Structure 1
């Protein structure tokens, strides 16, 4: 009798896998044992409601029934393991991606997600099919049938599957921007059910680091092909690489604070930074101020003060501060913040220190940043691994291009970034410099951010060609 698979060896890492609609935990063939034996991981594949018995047991089940069953088990395992990698095949892949937007998983394995049906399935509707029959026989390649002869799965498709998958896709569309962990997608270039173009289109919308691997063949379930052992190895190595970036907790953190004419504001920020237990040192770079910024900083003897003879801009000031420390983690902080607390600082830095992300951003309580996430993640305070800055091309280390450049690096070469909205804010440019100068600076900043994103897209295109 088919049942939940749970391979356990007291590991701190778990692969939580979700089988397909009308499939079973045996959809993954030898993958669970391979990951368990070769990568020291616990592996769990729960049996979804209505599966493992007879297809008629799916008649009265809806998407919520499957998702709730998965959530109940996943929430329990997230408390047990340091790392949970969520994976799925077909319908299970869509659900895995959907839940990755709501839960702090370390990665997602997505195998042949049916994001857009091929003909004739795309023309069919539940109401149309129900007039004729509820179940129709699966058409599997003879070679796959032979390989799957000892694995349990329903021999027929269920009419309700069309509606369930469509609902899951609609929900995923709303959640896509919330996925922040690494994603590995495996798909058949001639999948009989789903369109490969839809998978490619979906990947372009992901904000997180992601890779894909295309497999030649017509099998919807790629774990029943002759070359499956190479896929197992690819999966294990990909997520092992992700986990290997995990940090040690005794890393030093340097707060880097560029300041220009911030004599009225900087003391408030420094009082908080010097009281934050997670911050090892604080460095202020007075960028050619003509007010009392440096005098105020000198009242904090534990703060290192560097001064630029003339104004050089944010990027060069940050670089000077970084050159003055050997800290492993950098915390970029503006000098004009209001409402910053040691708890906010801790929440921004801790995910990077724990190795969950290459960078974490604190989105401020300003109107534009709260309303539009794009603006929020291109400013704000951020913690990052030093290597992320060191590896970033110099073209991004200029004026207001820094944040967009770091986002690109964390997504393309790091282990991703995340953000959270906090109840603190900074002075808007129009109030700080006056309406005319502030407006000019704001549009100059927007131009720089746009330029940085164009540069990032160009570099991403070049990398793909290589």
Structure 2
């Protein structure tokens, strides 16, 4: 039995919003489980085997009845854990290792940062280019759970990263980028076919980059 004054190990959960990511989610879950047994996948109205695959890989799975956007899935995943610290991951990552997770987690646990944001390096030209052009839109992040829960309208955002970054700036939180060598993402064009993928990517960036204008509307 631990001594009453012994420091408590901080609780960490990995949360993974996912929409039709049956082909990649199991590997992301596998890596996440090497960091912590608390891995939550929120299937955002997926109509493929995402939920079943994630559950078979060992994750706790929350199934949303319809596609509400990444913000809704993230909120559902956060409500499924009471962990003090959260590691946010996309479900379509490639090249991920436990070392990458520790790179993001360490400065937050040490108290140097309130949030770390992972940026791809050497994972593929297209994903590297997009991630470096708009690093503040990265979905790979680590912070305290209460910081995320305090983000205004988090569950209403189809893509919540701009809202999270805006909250960091508003609150004066300490944050910085952490390079994730050899990590990339499966391109939407590969997952959905070229033209469907281009359309999905265009809609995603349009929504992400118009966040400020939309939030200023009465």
TM-score category, normalised to shorter length: 0.7 to 0.9
Aligned to 2:62: 306
Equivalent of residue 43 in structure 2, options 277, 282, 286: 286
Find the aligned partners of 1:439 and 1:336 in 2 and give their Cα distance.
Answer: 17
Runs of 4+ displaced beyond 6 Å: none
**SS of the residue aligned with 2:81?**
coil
Q: How big is the shift at 1:395?
A: 6.7
Aligned to 1:152: none
Find the aligned partners of 1:396 and 1:450 in 2 and give their Cα distance.
Answer: 18
Aligned to 2:176: 418
Q: How big is the shift at 1:264?
A: 1.6
After superposition, the C-alpha distances for 1:18-66 in whole angstroms (9 at most, x for unaligned) are: xxxxxxxxxxxxxxxxxxxxxxxxxxxxxxxxxxxxxxxxxxxxxxxxx
The answer on whether the counterparts of 1:285 and 1:307 sit within 8 Å (CA) in structure 2 is yes
Find the aligned partners of 2:30 and 2:63 in 1 and give their Cα distance.
Answer: 20
Where structure 1 has 5 or more consecutive residues not aligned to the other structure, the ranges are: 1-247, 460-466
Higher Cα radius of gyration: 1
Aligned to 2:14: 255
Establish whether residue 432 from structure 1 lines up as the match of residue 205 from structure 2.
no
The answer on whether the counterparts of 1:260 and 1:293 sit within 8 Å (CA) in structure 2 is yes
TM-score (norm 2): 0.85
Aligned to 1:348: 104
The answer on whether the counterparts of 1:285 and 1:320 sit within 8 Å (CA) in structure 2 is yes
TM-score (norm 1): 0.42
Aligned to 2:3: none
Aligned to 1:317: 73
Establish whether residue 330 from structure 1 lines up as the match of residue 89 from structure 2.
no
Aligned to 1:268: 27
**SS of the residue aligned with 2:57?**
coil
C-alpha RMSD of the superposition: 2.3
The answer on whether the counterparts of 2:75 and 2:154 sit within 8 Å (CA) in structure 1 is no
Aligned to 1:405: 163
Q: How big is the shift at 1:316?
A: 0.4
The answer on whether the counterparts of 1:404 and 1:452 sit within 8 Å (CA) in structure 2 is yes
Q: How big is the shift at 1:448?
A: 1.4
Q: How big is the shift at 1:280?
A: 4.8
Aligned length: 207
**SS of the residue aligned with 1:399?**
coil
**SS of the residue aligned with 1:298?**
helix
The answer on whether the counterparts of 1:260 and 1:287 sit within 8 Å (CA) in structure 2 is yes
